[in-house]
Structure 1
Amino acid sequence: MEVDTILCCQERMRRHLDKAIAQLASDRSAQHELEKDLSDKQAALRIDDKCKHLRNTSEGVSYFRGVERVDATVSVPESWAKFTDDNVLRSQSERAASAKLREDTENLLVVTANEMWNQFNKVNVAFTNRIAETMDAKNKIHVHLSKTLQEIFQTEMAIESIRKAIKEKSAFLKVAQTRLDERTRRPNIELCRDMAQLRLVNEVYEVDETIQTLQQRLRDAEDTLQSLAHTKATLEHDLAVKANTLYIDQEKCMSMRNSYPNTLRLVGFC
């Protein structure tokens, strides 16, 4: 919209410039006619003044036979007066048109300057709002990233804890299974399904079930860690994009807009 406003103002200025150039040509034409008429009248005045002061004893007095029959006149008093009046009226008309054009031009420059400044300020407000929105989004992403990093740390600690628990339970399972294996070597009637045998079997099942549960939790935790790592990468990318947007809008664009010409320059006074 700012570009369209400036282009529109430039086009209106060009049209006024064309009018001013045409008016200047008309002014110079009227000036030329006045200067020519003035020069002719000054020459006629000198001649008539010379004729007025001619005497019988004046130098240059001579016979110019037949001159009285030569009619070199091109006007009569009425047309002579009208010619000058027309030149004066034309001059007045052109000067009035010039004054009106200058007034219109000054008004145009003020109006266009105000339009460009208003649009400039609107763009600045839009930039400021957008920068604030981007900054807010960047801060929110930063907060989420911090929370995600914390969750990643906690998940990694949980994975380590689960792995340690699995390792410890595996040791218990090895002991219980080794005991059962050793008891299979009892001779003959001693292969009794006694309470110790039953307890060992139950212990193996319980420990194995616990290990299976821990391994499932480990897989879930690893999946969660992978998901968190993906979220972390996405947030870091978004954070970089927002930082780049802020750099472009805040540092590059707004810094260039600080050099926008003032109203006097827009109007053309300096």
Structure 2
Amino acid sequence: MSVLERSLQQGDAPNLVNIEVMRNRSELFRAECTRLIQQTDKACRRMQDDDNKRLDQRVRDIQFLKKELELKLEEIIVEIDDLIALQSRVAKALQACKEPQRVTVLCLEERMKRVPSERLHDEVDRELLKERDAIEGVASVLQRVVEQITEQIRLNRSAKYHLEQDLKEKFEAQCIDNSCALMTTHSINTLQMSKNTKAGLPSLAVTPKQWENISDINIAKAEQQKSNSLSLRALVESLLEQTAADMQKQVQATTTAFQLNIQEIKSAKSQMEDQLAKILSECASQQKIREDLQVAITENEHVLTLAQTRLALRRQRPAKEQCYDPVQSQLLAEVQQLTAHINKLQEAVAQSEEEQRALTRCQLELQENIEIKANSLYIDEVICAQHREPIIIHTF
């Protein structure tokens, strides 16, 4: 039996005032709940708008720094390439010093084989000694230059590495912030697993100023190394020009001292010998490049087979997974490019074989003419002149 029924049986009437108060209080509470719901909903929307604005601004900040980093990375890459090309030039110049030095020493030794009455310390000997000292000095300078360029390339590559790492991190941060900007309350469930797996990772928070300073430092270091590279390249260019001029001047002075003992036929024979040496070297180079082409063809065929196999395997994906994604596009483009590369390499092999046959004909012709000229030369005129003829120092 309820309280109201008992009250009625006992003759007590219900307290309507209290009931009215309770009802009014309930209505007020419902109104407060409705207001609270609207207030929290409005606050949530405002906070989400603020979040999106800040995320958009953050993405723009990252994009700005990325452009700065990419520009500096492109510059340092170009500078590295220029330094590598210059290093190759200096290395070739250094290598080019070996033959003139060997010939100079050989001429000195050959002139010591003259009979005692003719073994005079004449002008030719003096010029040969100057030439030897000049070549040795140039070789020593060029060796130090190679080491300096190597070190500068290392520093440039270090700056390039830090720029690349910074760019990689900026890209990852941009992707994450873009994902955050696109995220909604309906999409967070799909990220729950990823969120849980990374929950234990430590937070390495830095201030916005520190974050910006990291990239500024990398850019400043790259700019400094670029400036150093430019200065080094200018110095090396000047040095190469000067050393080449000095060597050319000394070689010319020594050659002038020899000219009285050189006849026209010797010049022709020496030129043919030089050309023969180059032809033989080129024949060997053609053989080597043809082997390299065959190796390249094989390697490209292996890569092509791999790409084709991957395509075939990806066709076995479930029907719903058979999408023309970037991987599929890349693999199809890769097959086309590799096929084109292989065709070009095969064409190059055929052209190399034709060049080899032409070089062989030139070689036989040169050998025949050199043998004819050899019998026409005096021994004392040929030995030194024969070896000195290739010593022509051009600008490095």
**Worse overlay, 227-236 or 153-162:** 227-236
> d(CA) in 2 for partners of 1:74 and 1:91?
19
User: SS where residue 186 of structure 1 aligns?
Assistant: coil
Letter in 1 for 2:181: M
User: SS where residue 183 of structure 2 aligns?
Assistant: helix
Letter in 1 for 2:120: C
> d(CA) in 1 for partners of 2:174 and 2:3?
65
- 2:45 maps to 117
TM-score, normalized by length of structure 1? 0.61
- Pick closer, same or farther for the CA change 1:180–1:229 going to 2, 3 Å: same
- 2:115 maps to 187
Q: Structure 1 residue 213 and structure 2 residue 141: aligned?
A: yes
- 1:254 maps to 181
Alpha-carbon displacement from aligned partner over 1:188-235 (angstroms, at most 9, x marks no partner) = 243322222221111111111111111111111122222223333332
Letter in 2 for 1:212: S
- 1:225 maps to 153
Letter in 1 for 2:118: E
**Which of 100, 106, 122 lines up with 1:172 in the alignment?**
100
Letter in 1 for 2:102: K
**Superposition deviation, residue 162 in structure 1:** 0.8
> d(CA) in 2 for partners of 1:189 and 1:92?
145
> d(CA) in 2 for partners of 1:147 and 1:205?
40
- 2:172 maps to 244
Q: Which runs of 5+ in 1 are unaligned?
A: 1-31, 41-72, 261-270
Two-structure CA RMSD over aligned residues (Å) = 2.6
Question: Counterparts of 1:152-171 in structure 2 under 5 Å?
Answer: 152-171=80-99
User: SS where residue 257 of structure 1 aligns?
Assistant: coil
Alpha-carbon displacement from aligned partner over 1:61-96 (angstroms, at most 9, x marks no partner) = xxxxxxxxxxxx845xxxx5xx34xx2101210122
- Pick closer, same or farther for the CA change 1:148–1:258 going to 2, 3 Å: farther
- 1:106 maps to 34
- 1:93 maps to 21
> d(CA) in 1 for partners of 2:50 and 2:110?
88
Percent identity (aligned):
19
- Pick closer, same or farther for the CA change 1:96–1:227 going to 2, 3 Å: same
Q: Structure 1 residue 126 and structure 2 residue 49: aligned?
A: no
- 1:201 maps to 129
**Superposition deviation, residue 236 in structure 1:** 2.4
Letter in 2 for 1:106: T
Q: Which runs of 5+ in 2 are unaligned?
A: 188-396
TM-score, normalized by length of structure 2? 0.43
- Pick closer, same or farther for the CA change 1:33–1:110 going to 2, 3 Å: farther
| Shift >4 Å, 4+ stretches | none
Question: Counterparts of 1:54-73 in structure 2 under 5 Å?
Answer: none
User: SS where residue 114 of structure 2 aligns?
Assistant: coil
> d(CA) in 1 for partners of 2:89 and 2:133?
22
Count of matched residue pairs: 186
- Pick closer, same or farther for the CA change 1:258–1:201 going to 2, 3 Å: farther
> d(CA) in 2 for partners of 1:97 and 1:33?
22
Alpha-carbon displacement from aligned partner over 1:233-260 (angstroms, at most 9, x marks no partner) = 332222222222222221x322213859
**Superposition deviation, residue 187 in structure 1:** 2.9
Letter in 2 for 1:173: Q
User: SS where residue 141 of structure 2 aligns?
Assistant: helix
**Superposition deviation, residue 115 in structure 1:** 2.1
User: SS where residue 30 of structure 2 aligns?
Assistant: helix
**Superposition deviation, residue 161 in structure 1:** 0.8
**Superposition deviation, residue 106 in structure 1:** 1.9
- 1:18 maps to none
